[in-house]
Amino acid sequence: MADIIEMPKLSDTMTVGTLIKWLKKEGDVVTSGDLLAEVETDKATMELECFFEGTLVKIFVEEGVEVELGAPLCAVGEPGEKVEAPAAPAKPAEAPAETASEPAAAPTPAAPPPPPAAVPPPPAASAPSEPGKRLKISPLAKKLAAEKGIDPSRIQGTGTGGRIVRADVLDAEKNGVGGGMTGSGYMTKGPIQEDKVVKVSNMRATIARRLVESKTQLPHFYVDMEVDAGPLMALRAQINEGLKDEGIKLSVNDFILKASAEALRKVPAVNCSWEGNQVRHHSRAHVSFAVAIDDGLITPVIFDAHLKSVFDIGPEVKTLAKAAKAMKLQPNQFTGGTFCVSNMGMMGVNSFKAIINPPNAAILAVGTTVEKPVVVNGNITIGQRMILTLSCDHRVVDGAIGAQFLGELRGLIEKPALLLV
């Protein structure tokens, strides 16, 4: 009897999966450990592994189809074995539709149309002229449109035969229709994008659900602190210059991740999770970091970051980020974090407040490094400053604890040589 392979749960938050591509076809001989297909989950594109030996006798799901957990995907059995598709998992019954015995409300009769107006209606300025159709426009209106930078093809004329006249151009200018700085290339004509409705991906749907749950169920509060990033920037530049022949290039974020792990060691009350009527204290600092990918965000984890040097963390971050962007992360690479860092400094963002990633009790938001006048020992000088913002779950972390954590983090950033010990 053939073995049925069903859609497995490939991540902790997965509820459905999309079968992206079959790697085997019907009739292929398969063994345990063979990769059968690629499946898109809410976190990444993952490979479906076979745990049976035999022949792939039947494929039940076509590529590109979204499949619920437990639904049959394919069957592995003896060559030539006939297999019928098993019944899919039962879905909750939908609410019954209104019965025909209940008469529908009679539609309200439409009011009679008003009599024709004595004056011509205002131009439907938003309706452009049909492509390829010869534009009817008076010489005066054409000249006026050019002077005002208005695209006449987006004006509907009110003159004889739909001809565009001077008054139409003036109305278009007044209503902001057809605008655009022609010739300069400063502003382009036409819509900014196509009007359409797009079904969200599994990842985007999960992100939306989890962030709404976090923001509405977790009592967030925020603590921010401005730090002197000059020493860190100087140390990083020295290391990268001195070790460039060895291919070492550390980022600011590599140092932030290491500093966060050390700050968690000093203030372990932040390295906790809320679990119903109890708080779990984590003995190890598994620091995740946010990576922006197509249509979403994922947080790979640096496990045991408190035991790793910044020279260990740097290459690991690059490897994980590359896998994340290729949608190739495995579940054990993006689950299990105890603290998260979200850095938008490379995008020029001064500061922001991040939403906590449950079950973590806090997340650190890192802004860009800005040169600004600062007072040092009573003298004004130009310094390099960075704003750190800690979002905390008030059920676990109190304000004093959050402030203490940021204080320890600031000390490490302003004396970054301590991160190399």
Active site residues: 394
Q: For the beta carbon of residue 246, count every other beta carbon within 10 angstroms.
A: 7
Lookup: tokens for 13: 């938050």
Distance CA 169, CA 298 (A): 50
Query: In the 8-state DSSP scheme, what is residue 187?
Result: S
Sign, Cα dihedral of 344, 349, 350, 351: negative
- Pair of tokens at residue 146: 């050019």
Cα distances (angstroms) measured from residue 25 to each of 29, 63, 65, 112, 387: 9, 12, 16, 64, 54
Closest CA to 58 of 36, 33, 82: 82
What 3-state class would DSSP assign to 10? coil
Distance CA 295, CA 198 (A): 12
Q: What span, in angstroms and rounded, lies between the C-alpha atoms of 288 and 358?
A: 12
Task: Enumerate residues 6+ apart whose C-beta is below 8 A from 70.
Answer: 6, 7, 89
Distance CA 259, CA 173 (A): 57
Integer CA distances (angstroms), 350 to 54, 219, 224, in order = 58, 24, 12
Distance CA 150, CA 154 (A): 8
Query: What Rg value do the Cα atoms of the chain yield, rounded?
Result: 31
Structural element, H or E, at residue 252: helix 252-266
Q: Could you tell me the strand order of the sheet in which 45-49 lies?
A: 45-49, 35-40, 16-22, 65-68
Phi, psi for residue 291 in degrees, rounded to 5: -125, 125
Say how far apart CA 155 and CA 369 lie, in whole Å.
48
Distance CA 71, CA 6 (A): 5
Query: In whole angstroms, what is the distance from residue 46 CA to residue 40 CA?
Result: 6
Closest CA to 202 of 273, 109, 298: 298
